[in-house]
Amino acid sequence: ASLCFAALTLLALAGFSEAVDRGKFKSCTHSGFCKRHRAQKEPTGYEVVADSISLNNTAVNAVLRSKEAGNKLKLSVVTMEDSTVRIHIDDESENPIKPRFQPVDVFDEGQPRQQKIKKHDQDENSITVMTKDGHKVVIFMIPFRIDIYSNNRIVASINSKELLKFEHYRRGRKPKKDGEGFWEEDFGESRDLKPWVS
Ligand SMILES: *[C@@H]1O[C@H](CO)[C@@H](O)[C@H](O)[C@H]1NC(C)=O
């Protein structure tokens, strides 16, 4: 009897997996945003605006700009107590059309604590900060790139292919330029409206 039961269970499972309708799951080809970002093959030309760099106890703050993309972005690179680095890039505007969503409630004990920078160094094209727990973050200005070292071994390089792409919120359509799925997008039965783009 138990063999028969096992066979039945298997059959039931097989039946279930066939019933999954792949068409109900969104993939990159269904999202204009995803397609636009994956299609980016040429460097986007972001650089750190030299006189925008400022340091405080725990962070480097600066402005990024790209001739190609037009608008400016604000960058903050913050060293954290738990030996991580937080890199934050957002619209530069003090009064954005709409503040971007920030998942602050994922930290159930409040915001993680920032770690004091031990030492910093700046030359013509880069700024380096060192933390007391042996990490080093190098921010290159032209082109913009961030390399992160742990005990002198590189562990991450951000924007090394120079493909940083950022879509600003805006009002006003440019139908010829905006491309597919910029302001609204359909998937199956549902329509996704994007009043501020992307
Ligand atoms: C230093 O800058 C970081 C990142 O912008 C910010 O979160 C932090 O509050 C600043 N610290 C002080 C003391 O202003």
pLDDT in tens, 115-137: 999 999 999 999 999 999 999 99
For the chain, the first-to-last Cα distance in angstroms comes to 57
Residue 165: name the closest of 18, 33, 5, 2 by CA: 33
- Residue 107's domain spans which residues? 56-158
Residue count of the chain = 198
Whether the Cβ atoms of residue 81 and residue 114 lie closer than 8 Å to each other:
yes
Q: For residue 170, what pLDDT is reported?
A: 78
Q: Whose CA is nearest to atom 14 of ligand 1?
A: 56
Instruction: Look at residue 16 and tell me whether its pLDDT is greater than 70.
Output: no
Q: Do 143 and 120 share a structural domain?
A: yes
pLDDT band for position 18 (50/70/90)? low
- CB of residue 56 inside a 6 A radius of ligand 1: yes
Q: For residue 173, what pLDDT is reported?
A: 73
Q: What's the gap in Å between 11 CA and the centre of ligand 1? A: 59
Q: Do 187 and 114 share a structural domain?
A: no
Written in H, E and C, the secondary structure of 54-115 is EECCCEEEEEEEECCCCCEEEEEEEEECCCCEEEEEEECCCCCCCCCCCCHHHCCCCCCCEC
- CB of residue 61 inside a 6 A radius of ligand 1: yes
Q: Do 151 and 72 share a structural domain?
A: yes
Q: Do 117 and 75 share a structural domain?
A: yes
Q: Do 179 and 149 share a structural domain?
A: no
- Looking at the 3D structure of the chain, how many domains does it have? 2
- CB of residue 2 inside a 6 A radius of ligand 1: no
Whether the Cβ atoms of residue 162 and residue 83 lie closer than 8 Å to each other:
no
In a domain, residue 67? The reply is yes
In a domain, residue 126? The reply is yes
Q: What's the gap in Å between 158 CA and the centre of ligand 1? A: 21
Q: What average pLDDT does this structure show over 20-42?
A: 88
Q: Do 146 and 61 share a structural domain?
A: yes
- CB of residue 59 inside a 6 A radius of ligand 1: yes
pTM for this prediction? 0.79
Q: Do 171 and 134 share a structural domain?
A: no
- CB of residue 117 inside a 6 A radius of ligand 1: no
Q: Do 173 and 122 share a structural domain?
A: no
- CB of residue 78 inside a 6 A radius of ligand 1: yes
Q: For residue 17, what pLDDT is reported?
A: 59
Q: For residue 163, what pLDDT is reported?
A: 95
